[in-house]
Structure 1
Amino acid sequence: MIYDTIIIGGGAAGFFTAINLAKQRSDLSIMILERGGQVLEKVRISGGGRCNVTHAEFDPRSLTSYYPRGNRELLGPFHTFMTGDTMAWFEERGVSLKIEEDGRIFPQSDSSESIIDCFIKEAENLNVEVVTKTPITAITQTNDRFSISSKSQTYEAKTLVIATGSNPKMLKILEDTGLDIVPAVPSLFTFNIKDERIKDLAGLATEARVRLLDEQQNALKVNHPTIDQEGTQGPVLITHWGMSGPGILKLSAWGAHQLNACDYTFTIEVDWLPEMERSTFSEQLKEDKIKYAKQNVAKWSPYGLPKRFWQSLVKASGIPQYLTWADLNKKMILQLAQQLRSGIFRVSGKSTFKEEFVTAGGVNLKEIDFKTYQSKKVAGLYLAGEVLDVDAITGGFNFQNAWTGGYIVAQDLAKRL
C-alpha cells in the first residue's frame, strides 16, 4: 500500500499534523510511525505532568521574541496559526484551558492526559493509523515516492512529514538525504556553581539580572543586542548544585551554542537588585549608612532580599557580623555594592531536566519554506516541531511551535494531495 502521507514521530507536532490533515481530507490514507512503545510521551511528562500547552502572548511579533532560534522565520507562520487559534482548537474538542498568572496555559484538568486523550480520540475517529515500536533506519525517494525503512518493514508514501524532535539518528538520516543539519546542543539547563555565597541556601529564590561573561570579563555575545549587554532578568532559584529558575534558563537558551563551545565553563555576573537604579546605587548605600546608622548591617536587608542570602552577601563583602551601618568604611560600601549589583560567579558544568529536555540545533532553517514547512530541496518532504533548528524558553512556547508547524503542514498537504 502507498500511503498519501506518512508522519514519522508520534509526538505533539506529528499528531497535530495528522489530525488537522485528516479533518480536512477524510479521503486520505495517513499513518503515524513512532519509534517508542508509547505516543505523546513528551506531552505526558511536560509541565510536571500538566502539559503547558501554550502561552498567553497574542501578538505574533511579541511571541517570536521568546525563540532564540527561529524568531525571524516564525513571524509569518504565527500570523497563520498562534496562541488564540491553539486555544480555540482545544476548546472546540472539549478540552478547557486556563491561563495562569505567569501567562502559561494549561488544561483546566491540570493533567496532560486531557491533551493525550483528545489527540488519540481524534486520530481514531479520523482513521489515522498509528504504529509504535518502529524506529526508522533509512529514507529514500524514487519516482515521487518515499520509501521508509524500519528493521522489519518498508513503508511507501506520496508525501512524508518528519516530526521526530531532536532525535540524533533521524537528523543523521536527514543529513544523508542532503539536508543541512545544525549540530544539536542542549538548551534550557541550570548552572552548576560551587560558591560559599550560595552554600546551604538551596530553595531560596529572588529576582535577579544575569549576564554571561567571557574570559576577559566582557559580555559574552549571544546574537541578541539586549541580552548581550544586559543579560536576562527573572526569578533565580538557588539549588543544591548551583542556580536555576527562569532567569537562568532563559540565559542558557540564548547562549546554548556559545556555552557548548566553552564546554560549560564560564562566568556570570548577577545583579541581585535589578529594579534599583545602578548608576546611583553607591549614593543609595551612603544614604542608608546615615538612615540606619545604629542598626546592625547583617540583621536585615533594607532592599527586600531574603535574610539568609543578605547575610551571606554581607559576609562576602568583608563586613563583620557585629558592625553597624555607621561603622561601614568606604571599602566596605564598595564591596557591598559589588556583591549586590555585580557579583561574579564561576560556572562549572550544567544540569538538564530529562523530562523537559530541549535542544538547539536540527535542520537548518534555510532549508525550509516557512509558508508550507516543506523542504526546499526535497519535494514532498515536510518538517515540523523540534526537528527544525527552532527552540524557545520555558512557558509553552516549544509546544506552540509544534502546533503552528503541524497546522501549516496539514494545510499544504490538504491542497497538494
Structure 2
Amino acid sequence: MGDDSQQTDLFAAGALVRGQFTTSQFTAQEGNQGPYKLQGTNGELFVLIVSGSETVYVNGTAVKRGEDQDYIIDYNAGEIIFNSTFPITSEMRITVDYQFSDRNYSRFVAYGGGGTFQIEKLKIGVSVYSENDSKNQPLQQNLSEEQVQILADAGDDKSLMVAPSEVQEALNENRILYKKELIDGAEVFVFSNNEDDELYRVTFSRVGDNLGDYALSSSNAINNIYEYVGVLQGNYAPIIQLIAPTKLQLAVVNGAYHPSEKTNINFELAGSKNDLNLFSKTDDKNNDGFAGKLNIEQQLIKTDSLWNLNALFDSDYISTNFRNIEGLYNPEFNRDWNLDLTNLNGIGGNLGNQLLVNSGFSLFHKDKGFLNYQFEHLNFSDALTEIAM
C-alpha cells in the first residue's frame, strides 16, 4: 500500500473433482477402427470417462472428436472408435489423456492458499494443490478390519492389496455357490448346489495367465462358473483387489526476473508429497519429490539493420519421486529420446533423477529469415545420457 511499484494479489479456490487423471498409450491394430478400451490407473477394465476430459493424440498430433471429425467416444463404456474417414494403421501410436470417474473414497480437493507478489523487475507466484481421499469413508468397497490390516501391511505394493473373497451363504437358486474340497492336498472351491454342503459365495478376479489356479468353466444367466485347474495353471483367483486411499499434495513457486531489456529469466520450483496408501506407513520414504525449471533468454546483438542474435538456456530437473497432476512433456517425448522404460514426466520409472538441458542460438532478420542452432542433453542419474543437436 502506498507504493505503486509493488503489487500483491492473494487468491483461494476450491472445487469438487469429478475424476482422476491418467494416460493410456497403445499401438493401433492394422485396419481396426475400434473400439479401443481405456482403463483406470489400477487396470480397471470398466471405467466411466468424464465427459469432455479426453485429449487423443495420434503420433503426437491431437485429433478431433465428432461424428464428422476423427473419432467418437463412449464415455460410459470407456471406449474410443475412430471414424472411417480417419483410417487406422499399425504404424499409429495412440496416446489418450483423460479423467475417469474414481469414487472409491470420498475425495477432498483444494487449490489456492497463495498469490503473487510483483515489483518493477521481479514477479513471484505461489500456489498449492491438495487431493486427499477420506480413508474412513469408502464408497465402493466395505472394508472389514481384516482388510484394513491387509492394506496397512501392504505399503505401496498393489500386488499385496488383495483379500480372500469367500463369504459363507445358504443355498440360493439365484446365486452361484461353491463348496470347499481338498484336491492334491490343496483346499479349493468347487461349484455346488447341494444344500447339505457348506456353501460360499466367491468372487474370482482375473490375475493373468498362469498366475491363478482357476479358469472360467461356463457361463449362464446368473453368473460365470469357475473351476480349479491346478496350481498356477489358470488365470483367475478367489480374491478381491483392495483399493487404498491416496493423497497428492503439490506446492509450486514460480517467478520471472527481468534485470534489463535484453535479459529475461523465468524459474519454477515444485515439491510434491504422494502417499499411495494412507492406511500404511510402510514405503513412505519415497513420498516426497522435487522438480525445478530455469529458462534464460539473452539478447546478444541487436543492430539497426534489424539483425538480432539471441541465446537461450532452458533446463528441467525432476527427481525420481516427483509426482504431478498431468503430463509435462509432449506425447512423443519417449519416442523422440528412444526411451522404452521411462514414462512421461520421469514419474514412476526406475532410471533415477532426470535432467533435461536445452540451449542454443537464434539469428533472425525481420525480412530476410532466421537461423537456429539447438543443443539438447538428457540425463538419468541411474541409467543413461543422450544428446540431440
Q: Give the TM bin, normalised by the shorter chain.
A: under 0.3
Normalising by structure 2, we get a TM-score of: 0.25
Q: Which has the higher contact order (CA 8 A, sep 6+)?
A: 1
Which structure is higher in helix share?
A: 1
Which structure is higher in strand share?
A: 2
